[in-house]
Structure 1
Amino acid sequence: MSETQWQEPICGAGGGNTCLQIGHTAAGTPVLRETTQPTELITTTHQGLRNLIEAAKRGDLDHLL
């Protein structure tokens, strides 16, 4: 299997067409993309993705909104 497996898009409460998707490649590499730019991927490590999610949960990224 060579395709990336994507989770359902994460979209804001107001709807719109800007949504984020998180997935993983066949090799297990975590990837992120915006649904409006599906060919532009950000790759990371499992630890990098874990750090991002934990920082968001703590509110450490709220100043970016």
Structure 2
Amino acid sequence: MPEHEWQRSSFCAGGGNNCVEVAASGATNVALRESENPTAVLVTSQGALRALVLGVKSGTGGLV
């Protein structure tokens, strides 16, 4: 996997190893990883991640 410019949420407490990190992966994908295990990377589309986040915020959990 090519190097990514990983970003952490401002809610990440003290920069420890308890954060979800995100990075752009190509033109339409997003890479996700947990800072505690940075070698395990999940790549998904921007649309799928957006649907999940909006679903969680609305209380449906991103499920249709």
Question: Hey, what's the Cα distance between the residues in 2 that align with 1:49 and 1:17?
Answer: 22
Aligned AA (1:11):
C
What does residue 39 of structure 1 align with?
39
Deviation at 1:49, TM superposition (A): 0.9
Question: Hey, what's the Cα distance between the residues in 2 that align with 1:49 and 1:58?
Answer: 14
Question: Hey, what's the Cα distance between the residues in 2 that align with 1:58 and 1:31?
Answer: 23
Output the TM-score relative to the length of structure 2: 0.68
Output the TM-score relative to the length of structure 1: 0.67
Deviation at 1:39, TM superposition (A): 0.7
Match of 1:32, SS state, is: strand
Question: Hey, what's the Cα distance between the residues in 2 that align with 1:55 and 1:34?
Answer: 21
Q: How many pairs does the alignment contain?
A: 57
Higher strand proportion (structure 1 or 2) = 2
What does residue 21 of structure 2 align with?
21
Divergent runs of 4+, >4 A:
none
List alignment gaps of at least 5 residues for structure 2.
Answer: none
Deviation at 1:11, TM superposition (A): 3.1
Aligned AA (1:42):
L
Aligned AA (1:56):
V
Deviation at 1:24, TM superposition (A): 1.2
List alignment gaps of at least 5 residues for structure 1.
Answer: none
